[in-house]
């Protein structure tokens, strides 16, 4: 279950005329109207757009005129991610081990559900990022999604137990322990961790009968993670240009990098061992 943001038109939104989109907010029942510049017939021409965008970069234009929430003023934290290249529909393999990557952000925890392909691809299958949800309330949802994805129960869990305001290391570990969850917590350093995640999206693997594919693929069932990687998780526009801490954008990307860090540590020589572990799952 993913969070429903009031600034994103749902599939049921209606368009009474060009440039206008209307829908009802499922949380409070209010009607919401999104007004695009093309609601003005005089602003639908190519010549008007050429003049209006003359002194704007493409990123600035998308942010100011196209209501593109993945184009904030700051630069993306993971600019190597390309949604057209790194995303597609994915289906969990029921007899393959499930990897669960956690972040315990300031607002509420998030979890990514992943698997390894036999060709060393990291496949991000599902996301769980509710708003203002305590860890104890999140765990039954984690269990339900896990059962949907795999018949195996020896999960690989990794994350940062000291993130955000959920609690201290001890309190988080205590909650997870009651649910038989042991968290891998390798920390190579923030800069090293982000660099490794960026490198992941630059790499490819060879898949027989298909050719080279991205080393990490994100399912279309993870819209918030895709938005975060596409620029929704961004650097501040002013020095020292630190990542902006917004939920669930930062939390989802951090969950992915924590998982990647710990998976790399658990398997040693990454590409070779990932293939071995995915192909011979019993070795886990």
pLDDT of residue 113: 98
- Domain contains 63: no
Q: Is residue 56 part of a domain?
A: no
pLDDT computed for residue 169 by the predictor: 54
In sequence order, which residues have a C-beta less than 8 Å from that of residue 7 and are 6 or more positions away? 34, 69
Rounded to two decimals, what is the model's pTM? 0.72
Establish if 29 belongs to a structural domain: no
Q: How many domains does the chain have?
A: 1
Distances in Å between the Cα of 97 and the Cα atoms of 11, 125, 270 are: 33, 12, 17
Q: What is the predicted pLDDT for the residue at 61?
A: 73
Q: Which pLDDT score is estimated for 2?
A: 40
Q: Which two tokens stand for residue 137?
A: 């309330």
Q: Which residue has the tokens 């982000």?
A: 194
User: Residue 149 maps to which CATH number?
Assistant: 3.30.420.280
The pLDDT averaged over each successive group of 10 residues in the chain (284 residues) is 51 84 84 89 89 73 71 80 94 96 90 95 97 91 96 92 54 87 89 95 94 96 93 84 89 96 72 56 47
Residue 35 domain flag: no
Determine, yes or no, domain membership for 78.
no
Domain membership of residue 171 as a residue range = 83-283
| 265 domain-assigned | yes
Domain membership of residue 202 (yes or no) is yes
270 lies in a domain?
A: yes
């Amino acid at each position: 279950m993913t969070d429903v943001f009031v600034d994103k038109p749902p599939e049921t939104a209606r368009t009474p005329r060009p440039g206008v989109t209307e829908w009802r907010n499922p949380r409070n029942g209010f009607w919401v109207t999104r007004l695009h510049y093309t609601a003005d017939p005089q602003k639908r021409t190519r010549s008007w757009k050429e003049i209006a965008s003359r002194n704007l970069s493409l990123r600035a234009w998308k942010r100011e005129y196209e209501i593109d929430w993945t184009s904030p003023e700051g630069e993306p934290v993971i600019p190597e991610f390309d949604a057209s290249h790194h995303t597609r529909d994915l289906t969990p393999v029921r007899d393959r081990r499930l990897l669960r990557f956690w972040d315990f952000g300031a607002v509420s925890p998030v979890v990514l559900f992943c698997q390894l392909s036999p060709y060393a691809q990291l496949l991000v299958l599902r996301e769980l990022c509710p708003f203002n949800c305590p860890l104890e309330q999140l765990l039954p949802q984690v269990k339900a999604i896990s059962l949907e994805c795999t018949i195996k129960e020896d999960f690989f869990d990794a994350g940062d137990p000291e993130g955000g305001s959920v609690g201290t290391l001890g309190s988080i570990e205590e909650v997870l322990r009651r649910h038989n969850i042991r968290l891998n917590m390798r920390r190579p350093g923030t800069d090293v961790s982000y660099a490794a995640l960026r490198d992941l999206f630059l790499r490819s693997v060879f898949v027989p009968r298909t050719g080279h594919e991205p080393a990490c693929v994100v399912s279309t069932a993870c819209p918030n993670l895709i938005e975060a990687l596409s620029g929704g998780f961004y650097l501040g526009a002013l020095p020292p240009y630190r990542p902006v801490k917004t939920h669930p954008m930062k939390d989802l990307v951090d969950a992915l990098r924590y998982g990647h860090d710990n998976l790399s540590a658990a398997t040693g020589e990454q590409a070779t061992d990932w293939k071995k572990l995915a192909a011979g799952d019993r070795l886990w």
